[in-house]
Amino acid sequence: MSRVCDICGKGAVTGNKIVRHGLRKNKGGIGLHITGVSKRRFLPNLQKIRVQENGGVKRKTVCTACIKSELIVKA
């Protein structure tokens, strides 16, 4: 199963996980320092639902944003 919405094409996006150590300046420290940066993926919230399409019913992988905005008709 690909992690892509069948309606809008929303898929996984890459980003960074940043680790910070130290005490903040407004708390009396010398400030936060970045001690580690590692890659991560942000995955869309996909649901497998039954969709009414062309007079029939199909099972599709749809993101929750498309379900909320009523871009599809549930079976």
Q: Note the pLDDT tens digit of each residue in 47-75.
A: 999 999 999 999 999 999 999 999 999 98
Would residue 41 count as lying in a domain?
yes
Q: Is residue 56 part of a domain?
A: yes
C-alpha dist (Å) from residue 11 to 22, 46, 55 = 35, 9, 28
pLDDT in tens, 9-22: 999 999 999 999 99
Among candidate residues 26, 22, 48, 21, the one with its CA nearest the CA of residue 36: 21
Residue ranges making up the domain that contains 17:
13-68
Residue 1 lies in a domain: no
Number of domains in the chain: 1
Indicate whether 1 pLDDT > 80.
Answer: no
Q: How confident is the model at residue 46 (pLDDT cuts 50, 70, 90)?
A: very high
Which pTM does this prediction carry?
0.75
